[in-house]
Amino acid sequence: MKCTYCDGETITKRVRKQQWLNGKLYIIENVKAEVCPECGERYYHAAVLDTIDSMIAGDHTVKEVLAVEVLTA
Ligand SMILES: [Zn+2]
């Protein structure tokens, strides 16, 4: 597909996505996305986002737990 920001041609890649749900941050690996090689913008299909939300909400295996530093500018 064409990037909406810069008209670059996106490529299908597997990425690591951050997702907030109910005040908690999750990181999901191996998420299919269209990535613009020009500007780095990522596009996700609605079905992919729905799958992620139901994975988080349902029973899931946790691969790793990370501590996250929060800073303010
Ligand atoms: Zn772009």
**What is the residue extent of each domain of the chain?**
1-73
CA 41 to ligand 1 center in whole angstroms: 6
Exposure string of 16-37, with b = 16+ CB inside 10 Å and e = fewer, is ebeeeeeeeeeebeebebbbbe
CA 38 to ligand 1 center in whole angstroms: 5
CA 40 to ligand 1 center in whole angstroms: 6
CA 63 to ligand 1 center in whole angstroms: 31
Mean pLDDT, rounded, for 45-55: 96
| Other C-beta atoms lying within 10 Å of the C-beta of residue 3 | 19
CA 48 to ligand 1 center in whole angstroms: 20
Residues 46 and 62: beta-carbon distance below 8 Å? no
Exposure string of 51-70, with b = 16+ CB inside 10 Å and e = fewer, is ebeeeeeeeeeeeeeeeeee
**1-73 is classed in which CATH architecture?**
Roll (3.10)
Confidence of residue 40 (pLDDT cuts 50, 70, 90): very high
Confidence of residue 54 (pLDDT cuts 50, 70, 90): very high
